[in-house]
Structure 1
């Protein structure tokens, strides 16, 4: 396997075996590693990769990196997969391929204070590429890329495309604001307008605020659940 190549200002660090890129990225970020580091492990059945960023906006605004990197993934897989493969993004970072859960995008920050500008922010991707289970199709709400007609896509190609397309969306955010991010992301969220359960609350997911906080309607009451509530701690 050759080393993935990334756009300028990004540099890779490869892991193998059971090493977790998200935990490694956390250690590097705490130690002050330069932003743009892509820590990845492509050796198993799951593509695992984490990006280190240094936001220049308060945390609640920086949380836009979750949907932005989701859009980057959708564009990356869309460019590599057959046209009939559908990718959807859930509000919390869950990735669905042809309706079933295929992975997730995770996020962690140096702070949980929504008004504070983080020293660092980590976005992690985990995606089921293939399965060693004897009967993988038995779990109806879980899937793997190879089951969805994507057996020719390598983890290396998908990782390179994810970083490249995520950078495109980051630049659009910086140049044009969140309007285009909102517009494209909303069309990929299957639960928008549907009943959902979040943090032991149930209601209708009626939309998001400017920082992608969930607006949950329960009867006559509409509750705002900030996207920063999805931070891992």
Structure 2
């Protein structure tokens, strides 16, 4: 059971479907307090932190830098469980190819790469970009956030860019869409996913439930 005293801060920098994430957390963590906030003091006081994001990385990084969200996330990663979602995950790396090249937070080593315009599946059929819809995720490590989730479960993706960490030991889950890519990363108190757990039915809700109980 989730600790009724648990406080989860969902970082608000204006670039995410924050309310759907918050509602999913409230559903799987009954009794937890879920705050959608840009206040660094609220984030500091929280037990767990969610760093979401959707949209173009240039716009996201503009708001992240304007609000000093990078410092807030960096401090949170040192002391408490952090879950990064979609563009929140991409923003953690050093640089993205999107928008002609954008510097990111540099909290994890690696780059964010474009799928490409000539993506094909194993049968030679053309694949559309963005990668949108359900796809299987192979769990590449044993991690508390995978607890109760079957290997190769399907999660919901919407993205044209994927993370390519320099150190393969950071990869917690893999997916294939014309190319193999990291669908999840793990490092100390951080777990990051490219897919949207709040849109991923039972498997996604289980991951969020696991996050509510994860001590980092």
TM-score by length of 2: 0.29
TM-score by length of 1: 0.28
Bigger radius of gyration among the two: 1
